[in-house]
Amino acid sequence: MSVPPNYIQTSKSRGSFFNNPANRALIYQFLLLMGLGYFFYIIISNTMSNMEARGIKSGISFLGETAGFDILMSLIPYDSTHTYGKTFIVGLLNTLLVSVIGIFLATIIGFIMGVAHFSRNWLISKSSTVFIETFRNIPLLLQVFFWYFAVLSSLPSARQSLSIGEAFFLNVRGLYLPHLAGDEGSVVVYGAVFIAITSIIALHRFAKIQQEKTGKQLPVLRLSLAILIVLPLFATLIMGTPFHWELPVLKGFNYQGGTTIIPELIALSLALSIYTGAFIAEAVRAGVQSVPHGQTEAARSIGMNEKQIMKLIIVPQAMRVISPLLNSEYQSLVKNSTLATAIGYPDLFTVFVGTTLNQTGQAIEIVFMTMAVYFAINMFISVLMNLFDKKVSLITR
Amino acid sequence: MKFKFTLAAVIVAGAATSLTVQAGTLEDVKSKDYLSCGVSTGLAGFSQKDEKGNWSGLDVDVCRGVAAAVLGDASKVKYKPLTAKERFTALQSGEIDILSRNTTWTQTRDTSLGLNFAGTIYYDGTGFLVRKKLGVKSATELDGAAACIQAGTSTELAISDYFRDKKMSFKVVTFDTSDQTRSGFESGRCDFLTSDQSQLYALRIGLKDPAGAIVLPEVISKEPLGPVVRQGDDAWFNIVKWVVNASIEGEFQGVTSANAKTLRASGKPGQKRLLGTEGDLGMKLGLSPDWAYNIMTQVGNYAESFERNVGQGSPLKIKRGINAQWNNGGILYSPAMR
Ligand SMILES: N[C@@H](CCC(=O)N[C@@H](CS)C(=O)NCC(=O)O)C(=O)O
């Protein structure tokens, strides 16, 4: 085997600027960048002039025009006299809503099912396996349809609603809940809730420091619950109960008043959280399995009970494995939420890419805006999860 | 590195030279020897596929007419089923040569999508389909009701206008496809289904219990349905426009699939001009003289097409109404064919 000549040495000795690989790399990278820039410039300007030549309208001025159509559900006031720009916001908020609900439920389902796998109870551990294998392997779209049409077809019509105490109603149009409306003075109660939460956080900090110093454990959970209940309750009583319930009442075709949860939201949240939950369960299982058995035995030998072992030994170490997987599952969930369009849940994709795009015909602008939104949401999740990741890896040192 | 750079250069060069060449659709259709026609995913009477895979309907007959006129054979059509949301993009991108999918001619669509409407083959309007047991007799009783609609349609706008005008509230559930819309209605998710009235009759016969639903008398908007082509190809635009006119004029002149052959030799001057034995109408369109003769013999005139697909010869049993000839109580009127 011959020894290759020392490349850098020779090029340096020749002293030519272009023969220096570092310089050359720089030049090529610069040229590539220029090329790419030119490439995109050409694509964009070509598209623009093509669209103009074909008489297709472009630009974003449409965002200020009146939309003229209604949307099933909106978290902010919206009707058909509002603008296309507003339809973007309405859709965006609905997307965020179903994503947050989905991520929350999927995490709970995933952790319960993932840990259930290790249960000593045969039935529980087997049902975890069946759950994971079933829901991971059925296409999500089918699951969305299943929940939607299963939910719809098993529910009664508005006039035969199922009801609990004439306050909760369930029918094919959705779930109708009483709405707690705040009167004058309710702010004080909201303030009390806020103070309660802050003091609970402080309590946790304090308990931890206390334990590290003295080894004593405070009954944190019980104390927290007490604070959370007592403080707001006290405020409510002092202010003379500044709330009243708005009950849904049957008027004409359906219930009005109160809060409505539409079946599309229920079905989509169920489908997304169960599907993603199955993947998270699998990740949790892998994470727990990655913790060597010796750790459990060591913990047992110093007298920890099973609950403590799970909480203090296994979960913190398993989190290192689980956390990056969670990140990608959450991101998939957000992207998968666009399946809303199949059942008419008015998310960003249904409203903006579905209806707004078709009423305005401005495909490029609308698709671009929508892509940017999903990109931004996922970047945000990524940043949060990376912070979380740092935290769990620090804890385990 | 070098390889990457070369690749980039090639791509850039390619992008720079990809000019806005848009070949004439007529030449294009002739050279591939079939017409690519955008239709619905399945709507009785307008465009629907049977078990054997044959498409039929009023919208389909426009495509068959164009194929007969241009290629001499009404069967040389490839159908592309499209949902309401997909249809305009499919036409803009050149995936189809003509869009014939119960599409409403609106000013916005005509002027901002880079498309042209080539005529009206059915004058329609938005209507309401409700379950009988709701006991509703008129749309004015629908305050607070929920509507099932297909996304990306002009219906979405019409229904909002109506309820706003009548100061009534309503909820709208929008679905992607007409199957989903119908399932939504059947499962009771909404109180009524709204769409162009002709489509309501078509959807109604597809319900599990057609007798359990009725179409309300109100028609709340103008929905003139017709074929669409890309803007900027006038030759093709003319062809589609005059194929539509020829079918209407055929009925007016009394030319049918049965008598076209005889009339070609011995008809009145107008009939002969249409059938290509007098004048040169076909040549002026860039087509052969027997272009309209082929339409008449292979597809039939408007009346034949109407009765076969949506009229008395079909399960829909729609009356001619305003879709009759102008001299017969309707508003169908073809410009002069001379
Ligand atoms: N004329 C309306 C079309 C309305 C429309 O698409 N209607 C539905 C009825 S629910 C339909 O035909 N769907 C058939 C399909 O999606 O294939 C428009 O142009 O926007």
Residue B14 is predicted with a pLDDT of: 44
Residue B9 is predicted with a pLDDT of: 46
Higher-pLDDT residue of A395, B200? B200
- Atom number, ligand 1, closest to the C-alpha of residue B81: 17
> Does B25-122+225-319 match B126-221 in CATH topology?
yes
A340-373 pLDDT, tens digit each = 998 999 999 999 999 999 999 888 899 999 999 9
Residue B2 is predicted with a pLDDT of: 44
Residue B11 is predicted with a pLDDT of: 46
Q: Give the burial string for B39-49 (b: 16+ CB within 10 Å, else e).
A: bbbbbbbbbbb
In the three-class reduction of DSSP (H, G, I as helix; E, B as strand; rest coil), residue A158 is classed as helix
- For residue B295, how many other CB atoms are within 10 A of its CB? 30
Higher-pLDDT residue of A324, B6? A324
- CA distance linking residue B292 with residue B68, whole number of Å: 8
Query: What residue spans define the domains of chain A?
Result: 84-174+261-392, 179-246
Q: What is the ipTM of this complex?
A: 0.83
A16-38 pLDDT, tens digit each = 787 888 888 899 999 999 999 99
B44-77 pLDDT, tens digit each = 999 999 999 999 999 999 999 999 999 999 999 9
Q: Residues A157-169: what's their mean pLDDT?
A: 83
Residue A395 is predicted with a pLDDT of: 55
Statement: residue B263 has pLDDT above 90:
yes
Partner residue facing A344 (CB), from B15, B163, B174: B174
DSSP conformational letter for B326: G
Question: With an 8 Å Cβ cutoff, are B160 and A80 in contact?
Answer: yes
Residue A132 is predicted with a pLDDT of: 95
Report the candidate in A123, A106, A124 with the shortest Cα–Cα distance to residue A115.
A124
- CA distance linking residue B157 with residue A214, whole number of Å: 70
Percent of chain B with pLDDT over 90: 87
What is the best residue among B43, B99, B100 to mutate for testing ligand 1's pocket, by most ligand atoms within 8 Å of CB? Answer: B43
Statement: residue B298 has pLDDT above 90:
yes
Label residue A326 by pLDDT band (50, 70, 90). Answer: very high
Statement: residue B242 has pLDDT above 70:
yes
Q: Residues A321-333: what's their mean pLDDT?
A: 94
A116-147 pLDDT, tens digit each = 998 889 999 999 999 999 999 999 999 999 99
Label residue B18 by pLDDT band (50, 70, 90). Answer: very low
Partner residue facing B145 (CB), from A38, A253, A363: A253
DSSP conformational letter for B104: B
Given CATH 1.10.3720.10, say whether it is the number of domain A84-174+261-392.
yes
Residue B16 is predicted with a pLDDT of: 42
Q: Would you say the CB of residue B83 lies under 6 angstroms from ligand 1? A: yes
A68-92 pLDDT, tens digit each = 999 999 999 999 999 999 999 999 9
Question: Which chain B residues touch A264 with a CB distance below 8 Å?
Answer: 173
Percent of chain A with pLDDT over 90: 52
Mean pLDDT of chain A: 89
Q: Which class would CATH give B25-122+225-319? A: alpha beta
B151-199 pLDDT, tens digit each = 999 999 999 999 999 999 999 999 988 888 998 999 889 999 999 999 9
Question: With an 8 Å Cβ cutoff, are A54 and B114 in contact?
Answer: yes
- CA distance linking residue B189 with residue A158, whole number of Å: 10
A190-220 pLDDT, tens digit each = 898 999 999 999 998 988 888 888 888 888 8
Q: Residues B297-303: what's their mean pLDDT?
A: 97
Label residue A167 by pLDDT band (50, 70, 90). Answer: confident
Token digits of residue B174: 């929008």
In the three-class reduction of DSSP (H, G, I as helix; E, B as strand; rest coil), residue A240 is classed as coil
Q: Residues B13-38: what's their mean pLDDT?
A: 74
Q: Residues A37-47: what's their mean pLDDT?
A: 90
Residue A319's contacts (CB-CB under 8 Å, 6 or more residues apart) are: A287, A392, A395, A396
Label residue B228 by pLDDT band (50, 70, 90). Answer: very high
Top residue of A90, A355, A356, A367 to mutate, by most chain B CBs within 10 Å, is: A355
Label residue A5 by pLDDT band (50, 70, 90). Answer: low
DSSP conformational letter for A349: I
Report the candidate in A338, A361, A348 with the shortest Cα–Cα distance to residue B93.
A361
CA of B102 to the centre of ligand 1 (A): 6
Q: Residues B74-87: what's their mean pLDDT?
A: 95
Size of interface A-B (CB pairs under 8 A): 145
Residue A88 is predicted with a pLDDT of: 97
B311-333 pLDDT, tens digit each = 999 999 999 999 999 999 999 99
Question: Which chain B residues touch A341 with a CB distance below 8 Å?
Answer: 151, 176
Partner residue facing B89 (CB), from A251, A359, A363: A363
Statement: residue B294 has pLDDT above 60:
yes
Label residue B15 by pLDDT band (50, 70, 90). Answer: very low
Q: Give the burial string for A41-63 (b: 16+ CB within 10 Å, else e).
A: ebeeeeeeeebeebbbbbeeebb
Percent of chain B with pLDDT over 70: 93
Q: Residues A167-177: what's their mean pLDDT?
A: 88
Query: Per CATH, the architecture of B126-221 is what?
Result: 3-Layer(aba) Sandwich (3.40)
Higher-pLDDT residue of B108, A158? B108
Question: Which chain A residues touch B189 with a CB distance below 8 Å?
Answer: 152, 172-173, 263
Q: Residues A165-188: what's their mean pLDDT?
A: 85
B112-164 pLDDT, tens digit each = 999 999 999 999 999 999 999 889 999 999 999 999 999 999 999 999 999 99
A232-258 pLDDT, tens digit each = 888 888 888 888 888 888 887 888 888
What is the best residue among B149, B161, B182, B196 to mutate for testing ligand 1's pocket, by most ligand atoms within 8 Å of CB? Answer: B196
CA of B70 vs chain A CAs: smallest distance (Å) = 24
CA of A183 vs chain B CAs: smallest distance (Å) = 27
Determine how β-strand B122-124 pairs with β-strand B145-150.
unpaired
Residue A112 is predicted with a pLDDT of: 94
Query: What residue spans define the domains of chain B?
Result: 25-122+225-319, 126-221
- CA distance linking residue A173 with residue B315, whole number of Å: 32
Closest residue (by CA) to atom 10 of ligand 1? B178
Q: Would you say the CB of residue B56 lies under 6 angstroms from ligand 1? A: no
Residue A94, burial from CB neighbour count under 10 angstroms (0-12, 13-18, 19+): buried
Partner residue facing A80 (CB), from B15, B164, B175: B164
Label residue B3 by pLDDT band (50, 70, 90). Answer: very low
